[in-house]
A and B are shown apart, each in its own frame.
Chain A
Amino acid sequence: MSPTLTTCTACGATCDDILLEMREGRVAQAKKACPSGEAWFATPVAEQAAMALIDGQPVALDGTLDDAIAQAEKILTQARHPLVTGLKQATTEAIRAAIALADNTGACIDWTTSAADASATLALQTVGAVTATLGEVAQRADLVVLWGSDLATTHPRHFERYSLEPSSAWLPNGRADRTLIVVDDHPTATAERADVFIQISPGSDYEALTTLRFLGTAAGRASSDAPNELQDLAARMATASYGAVIYGARLAADGPESLAELTQLMADLTATTRFVAIGEGGPGNATGAASALTWQTGFPLGVSLAKGYPEYGPGEWTTEALLRRREVDAVMIVADDLNMQVSSEALAPLGSLPTIALDWRDTETTRQATVAFRVARPGVETGGTTYRCDGIVLPLRGAVDTSRPSAESILQEIAERLSKNQD
């Protein structure tokens, strides 16, 4: 059998050139995948014979999901304040179905599990963004600044595919035609690859970005108070043909301020050159969750549909906040291991709430769920689409047939039953 082309969602590089070879229904080899990708494709799927569990007990041994779907429907019908969350490793198709279900049940829906998850969105809403697809970086960026990002460790193929090695008409010698500058608060594997490594003190990202903005002004150029490395960086940025900043999660960790400052720096630089900023991106399809939520409701995260229409509440109707404040009475978790991501304060009430989990993995979240559905694995057992962090939508393809339903088909069936019972 010829290998199947699919996309890896193990990290934010979202490599779409993976060739899957299957043997006896399992991934025998994921060609082109990096070590993280190999581990991702080797992640075992939940092996129990049951397609669903109720209170940890296998049901649906006969292949029908009626009991489990009825139980999920009952939980959602009885709930007054349900939350639909997870979504980060869901396909866009499952996300769309989850939003429809949340609309139908008047739930809150969100995909964030921390304040950092919301930072890029909040920065966009404050100042905008100046960005590009990763192919622009590959083709044009003669200056690449990695800020708080250890791509060599976390995104092993990022350099090869996008940010350092590709050659083009503008950069015929690839790596040799680029300058790589790494800004971080500690030495990293990535820093070893840099032409210049600028070590800043922990917690000083915002200050360094502000300094760079100041150094771009006439007053800044005339002053010599700033650290030499930053003066040098400001000069290099001003003279780049097409510069790119790729930033890591740390820049978003404390809220949107640093990212907003970064955007302002990009906008300042546009007066004389071109510069763009792109996040390094995380695993899965968080970008798709924000995207689909936005087109369906108008809001990218923390959406309450309780009043029958969408309302926006970052920090109010986001997953962590709702769980901590114990404001929900049922939780549906779509394709993510929530237990591994939220704080212990948020996790505490989860144990006593009815929960519905859909996943292809066997996780803490599925094991503790009131109802758990073992769904088909996107990108291996079933198709769908996923968003790369720069917004490009890529296909996930199924390489093997499975009798297991997709997450979206279960979500649609629950929604249909709820609609019927409302009539």
Chain B
Amino acid sequence: MPQLIKIAGGTVYDPANGIDGEVRDIWFRGGTIVEPPGDQSAKPDRTIDGSGLVVMPGGVDMHCHIAGPKVNVARKLRCDERRSPEAVLARGRGTRSGSLGSVPSTFATAYKYAGLGYTAAFDAAVPPLGARQAHQELADTPSIDKGFYVLVGNNHYLMEQIAKGEPQQVEAYLAWLLTSTKAYAPKLVNPGGVETWKQRGAGHSTGLDDQVPHFRITPRQIIGGITRAANALGLPHPAHIHCNQLGMPGNWRTTLETMQAVEGQRAHLTHIQFHSYGGGDGEEATLDSQVAPLADYINSHPNLSVDVGQVMFGNTTSMTGDGPLGYYLRNIYGDRWYSADTECEAGCGVMPIEYKNKNLVHALQWAIGLEWYLQVDNPWQVVMSTDHPNGGSFLAYPEIIRLLMDRTYRRDIIATCPAGLRQRTELADMDREYTLGEIAIITRAGPARLLGLASKGHLGPGADADITVYTPSDNQAEMFELPRLVFKGGELLVEQGEIRTAVVGQTLHVAPHYDTDRLVDLPDWFNERYSIHFENFAIAET
């Protein structure tokens, strides 16, 4: 029988079970949290002294880019970042070597997530045709549980069926697609807008009611059709939406319309920071924060949730399934540009990017991100993310926690930004400070619930023994960047920055039930349009 282990006397933050900083014992055996034995004299096989330490469930990153074709191209593109000895990880006992930079190698990604106390992470944008590569990369990403969302917002079959008014066909195909690619959730990226870019090139508007050429459909219809199908299938995370017009001044209206377009159904809007801009007509100089009206809508619509996509100052790499956005950024930054279209499915843009605190637009993006955390009343509806590596690395999470928990520190950073910031955001006047319990929600309990991961993000009996133990500090960034202990499935992964084991995590995916008879024509449809054979599409191998 596996060992019975007790973490004794830690200060436990387990918001899913209503525990907000109580001194308690956590018991686990064989990878699962168990009830404390009723018999007071029962002894564990091993006791870990948690007194004076903070105990939380393992972190869950619900939106990052860690695997798949565009991530790997970004690694190739950014070899320039990894030339210094600080940018590499040496191999160790039982661990592989790797390299860091804004887009770390797979093994390094896993060890760094584990080292941060995160035990699950989800890549947010894999084209269906890239699924096989994404699985290969995730197989080389040990330690943590992981998965990916598959791109559907510009999928030819879905657009045709939605245009025809065939909701059951949309459902069957969506279920088939998730099953075939072994994906965890459907992801919409600039719905309809990527297809428009493929047909018309740059500079065409893709507001919610603009027609997608040839397909006779609008982004609004795509959003509605896929969100309905995903909810009808009962998917654990029905719709993960990257709205149209990312980064464009004045895009907040499109974001608000998107929130309305899901018609009260469950949906998640991702990296919302990039979609909350006032100003007009592509004029960057007019940019300002429009978080308030959008956060108001979230606050009154419990069906909706967001992750932030926080921008942090420094060098990073932008990567997106939004091809036209890539070209837009290329024209702003003028550095190396990678663009790739994937047949029948998606686009892709990758480029180096630097966010500078002295740049008013960048400072405003940073502030808008923080506003989002501070303006959503219910922390269960807002999730921490940097859209790694787009806004910054996931390694910045401890720093974001400090910015949220310490308003004095937050104001110190605001003071380094251009004075014009004050006219465009109310961040400096916001007094709210997050508590540790609220941090536990936005970094683990909340994302786990939004992903429908019943055994993650909490410490109740039956939960996975994914546990992070921190040493408290007045400097919250220091507290969160170097956990005392990290357990994954009951195994000690990391102890004070030292990797103890690199157990193989699972790749999580869904396999919803659907009516296979509805898809009898799909092989012919597929073989007429794709450059690969239908039978080679589904992932058979593990």
- State the A residues within 8 Å of B (CB): 5, 7, 16-17, 92, 96, 100, 103-104, 121, 124-136, 138-140, 161-162, 168-170, 241-242, 267, 270-274, 276, 290-292, 294-300, 305, 307-312, 383, 385, 387, 391-395
Contacts and interface: CB of A to CB of B under 8 A. Distances in A.
8 contacts: A126-B336, A130-B339, A271-B202, A295-B137, A296-B98, A296-B140, A312-B79, A395-B132
A375 to B, nearest CB: 18
B96 A100 contact: yes
Nearest to A132: B341
Contacts of B529: 135, 139, 168
B343 interface: yes
Contacts of B107: 296
Contact of B132 (A128, A133, A393): A393
A300 B76 contact: yes
Contact of B337 (A5, A121, A130, A292): A130
Nearest to B108: A298
A385 B136 contact: yes
Nearest to B540: A395
Contacts of A124: 73, 76-77, 336, 338
A131 B341 CA distance: 7
Contacts of B350: 128
Contact of A297 (B105, B337, B535, B540): B105
A33 to B, nearest CB: 14
Contacts of B362: none
Contact of A295 (B72, B85, B88, B214): B72
Interface in B130-151: 130, 132-133, 136-137, 140
B531 A274 contact: no
Given A135-B343, A309-B88, A393 B97 contact: no
Contacts of B201: 270, 272-274
B75 interface: yes
B105 A392 contact: no
Contacts of A169: 214
Interface in B104-137: 104-108, 129-130, 132-133, 136-137
A136 B341 contact: yes
B98 A298 contact: yes
Contact of B342 (A130, A132, A273, A290): A132
Interface in B313-364: 327, 330, 336-344, 350-351
Contacts of B197: 274
B247 interface: no
Contacts of B79: 125, 298-300, 312
Scoring A126, A298, A392 by chain B CB atoms within 10 A of each residue's CB, the highest score goes to A298
B533 A17 contact: yes
- Pairs of residues from A and B, 3 with the lowest C-beta to C-beta distance, nearest first: A135-B343, A298-B99, A135-B531
Contacts of B39: none
Given A125-B336, A309-B99, A294 B76 contact: yes
A296 B536 contact: no
Nearest to A308: B90
A33 B190 CA distance: 40
A167 to B, nearest CB: 9
A86 to B, nearest CB: 19
Instruction: Please classify how large the interface on chain B is, using the bins under 10, 10 to 19, 20 to 34, 35 or more.
Output: 35 or more
Contacts of B235: none
B45 interface: no
Nearest to A121: B76
Given A100-B96, A272-B201, A394 B536 contact: yes
A168 to B, nearest CB: 7
A391 B535 CA distance: 18
A136 B343 contact: yes
A131 B533 contact: no
B104 A298 contact: yes
Interface string B184-221: 00000000000001110110000000000010000000
A285 B338 CA distance: 22
A355 to B, nearest CB: 24
Contacts of B67: 295
Contacts of B339: 128-131, 270, 276
A128 B337 contact: yes
Contact of B77 (A125, A272, A385): A125
B542 to A, nearest CB: 12
B536 A395 contact: yes
B75 A103 contact: no
A352 to B, nearest CB: 30
B180 to A, nearest CB: 13
A290 to B, nearest CB: 8
Interface core residue of A139, A161, A169, A383 (most chain B CB under 10 Å): A139
B202 A391 contact: no
B96 A103 contact: yes
A267 to B, nearest CB: 6
A133 B342 contact: yes
B342 A267 contact: no
Nearest to A309: B88
B269 to A, nearest CB: 29
B66 to A, nearest CB: 10
A305 to B, nearest CB: 6
B23 interface: no
B203 to A, nearest CB: 9
B530 interface: yes
B532 interface: yes
B129 A128 contact: no
A132 B340 contact: yes
A170 B532 CA distance: 19
Given A161-B531, A267-B330, A128 B77 contact: yes
Contact of A162 (B80, B83, B338, B531): B531
Contacts of B343: 132-136, 138-139
B91 A103 contact: yes
Contact of A267 (B72, B73, B337): B337
Contacts of A139: 343-344, 529
Given A100-B96, A295-B140, A309-B99, A133 B341 contact: yes
Contacts of A292: 136
Contacts of B137: 295
B379 interface: no
Contacts of B342: 132-133, 136
A392 B346 CA distance: 13
B82 interface: yes
Contacts of A170: 199, 214
B395 interface: no
A168 B85 CA distance: 51
Contacts of B72: 291, 294-295
Contacts of B50: none
Contacts of A383: 541
Contacts of B80: 125
B19 interface: no
B531 A138 contact: yes
B225 interface: no
Given A135-B529, A307-B90, 6 more contacts: A131-B338, A140-B199, A170-B214, A291-B133, A298-B82, A298-B108
A299 B214 CA distance: 41
A296 B337 contact: no
Contact of A134 (B69, B99, B531, B540): B531
A310 B532 contact: no
Given A132-B341, A136-B343, A242-B198, A96 B140 contact: yes
B96 A296 contact: yes
A49 to B, nearest CB: 31
Contacts of B108: 298
Most chain B CB within 10 A, of A96, A169, A294, A295, is at A295
B15 interface: no
A296 B336 contact: no
Given A170-B214, A276-B341, A103 B97 contact: yes
Contacts of A291: 72, 133
Nearest to A314: B79
A151 to B, nearest CB: 15
